[in-house]
Amino acid sequence: MIKDTWRFEPFNEEPIRLIDEEGNWIGEFDLDLSDQELQELYRHLVRGRLLDERYQIILRQGKTSFVAPSAGHEGAQVGLAKAVRPGFDWIFPYYRDKTLLATLGYPVELLYAQMMATRLDPNKGRQMPEHPGLRELNVFTVASPIASHAPPAVGAAISAKIQGTGQVVLTTFGDGATSEGDWHAALNFAGAQGAPIVFAAENNRYAISVNFEKQSGSPRIADKAHAYGFPGYQVDGMDVLASLYVAREAVERARQGLGPSLVEFLVYRYGPHSSADDDRVYRSREEVEFWRKKDPILRFERFLEKRGLWTPEAGEKLREEVKAELLAAEEKAEAAGPVPPEWMFDDLYSTPYWLLEEQRGILLAEL
């Protein structure tokens, strides 16, 4: 299906929104999702939120050492995950994307295994928590240095274009990433090459403690796409349907050879930057409460309720089901046992190296 008309205008003044805060559909086109699809979106929103809550518990239990809270980001992340073809398209995520990855089909027990560095983690416990990656799902293993995954994402997109695979690359990042040189280098190269890539900014207004006004003189991240010659859209990222429809359009443009897009999702993280942060020193509780009232899950519940697709009881039942699923996944991940220390020397090079074998010997003598 080749489209020559598009639903959304880039460089919009007001964030694109399809559900208002009372849960009314305000789109200028007909909703074309089935009831079942809508309920699936809801399930993913809830699952992401509960997973985030559960991570806080395993942190307190000492089973993991670090959590990057994602509550408040679920609308954007579910929308993005549902806009791509899982296992076909490539995803270059950042460290706050647990809902995106879980929605994409990243098995939750493997997410837990990464959080707890158990033998089940395909990344073999090499990285701190919240840094998953899964080859079979084309999810590029997360790296901490901010925006450093953006140039590789562009490279993968150029490769897909050269090889004519029809794949699209999606890369996500926070607002702080948009200040990094690598980010600009990546968008600039993608624009010059017309690469099939979607750059998705999860703008939660804070890079740890630095608010967006201090991050950039631009009022919108989306505006920066002007400079690179491709469309930029600003979306209410706490509206899952707006997130989904705009992400789909950006993905479709890329798939049709029309090049990159930059999509800015306005979200808010309710928690601190990480379990090592205290956000009370840089923002008021009133501000956090203000944003919590715009919660993507609450808003979508109102929307579903108006369509007869949600009741408080049904919501509670779903939560209990998902909690049981998550607990089973957590137990499975934990049961795999910790990664053994001698794995330290594997997977560095494709070929054996005497130096590492010498050092493996040093380690083994200590164990």
Partner 1 sequence: MATLNIVQAVKRALDEEMARDERVVVLGEDVGKRGGVFLATEGLYQKYGPDRVIDTPLAEAAIIGAAVGMATHGLRPVAEIQFADYVFPGFDQLVSQAAKLRYRSGGQFSAPMVVRMPSGGGVKGGHHHSQSPEAYFTHTAGLKVVVPSTPTDTLGLLKTAIRDDDPVVFMEPKRLYRAIKEEVPDEEFTIPLGQARIRREGTDLTLIAYGGPTVEALKAADELTKAGVSAEVLDLRSLVPWDKETVLNSVAKTGRALVIAEAPRTASFASEVAATVMEELLDQLMSPVYRVTGFDTPYPYVPDREYMPTVTRILNFAKKALDY
Kindly give the pairing relationship between strand 206-207 and strand 261-266: unpaired
Q: How many residues bind partner 1 (CB under 8 A)?
A: 51
If phi > 0 it is left, if psi is from -120 to 50 it is alpha, else beta; for residue 62 that is left
Site string for partner 1, 171-190 (x = CB under 8 A): ----------xx--xx-xx-
Q: Which is it for strands 197-203 and 261-266: parallel, antiparallel or unpaired?
A: parallel
Please state, as a whole number, how many other Cβ atoms lie within 10 Å of the Cβ of residue 353: 11
Is 61 or 350 the residue whose CB approaches partner 1 more closely?
350
Q: Is 282 a catalytic residue?
A: yes
Q: DSSP for 47-89?
A: HHHHHHHHHHHHHHTTS-S-----TT-HHHHHHHHTTS-TTTS
C-alpha separations of 325 from 63, 70, 87, 132, 319 in Å: 18, 19, 22, 20, 10
140 binds partner 1 (CB under 8 A): yes
User: What single DSSP character describes residue 283?
Assistant: S
Contact 19, 244 (CB under 8 A): no
119 labelled catalytic: no
> Of 54, 53, 50, 45, nearest to 331 (Cα)?
54
Annotate each residue in 80-109 with x if it binds partner 1 (CB under 8 A) or - if it does not, as one string. ----------x-x-----------------
Given the complex with partner 1, which of 6 and 353 has the nearer CB atom?
353
Q: Quick check: 150 binds partner 1 (CB under 8 A)?
A: yes
| Number of residues assigned to the chain | 367
Residue 217 — φ and ψ, nearest 5°?
A: -80, -10
Rounded least distance, CB 6 to partner 1, Å: 27
Among candidate residues 282, 302, 319, 360, the one labeled active-site is 282
Which among 9-17, 42-50, 118-126, 288-296 is the span making contact with partner 1, rule CB under 8 A?
118-126
In the complex with partner 1, the residue whose CB is nearer, 133 or 260, is 133
353 scored as a contact of partner 1 (CB under 8 A): yes
Considering the complex, state which of residue 72 and residue 176 has its C-beta at the smaller distance from partner 1: 176
Among 31, 33, 59, 143, binds partner 1 (CB under 8 A): 143
Helices (H) and strands (E) in the chain, counts: 13, 7
The tokens describing 268, both together, are: 């808010």
Nearer CB in complex with partner 1: 210/344: 344
Q: Are strands 197-203 and 90-92 parallel, antiparallel or unpaired?
A: unpaired
- Footprint of partner 1 on 184-223 (CB under 8 A): 185-186, 188-189, 192-193
153 binds partner 1 (CB under 8 A): yes
**Catalytic residue IDs:** 269, 273, 282
Residues of this chain that bind partner 1 (CB under 8 A) = 90, 92, 121-127, 131, 133-135, 140-141, 143-145, 148-160, 162-163, 169, 181-182, 185-186, 188-189, 192-193, 346-351, 353-355
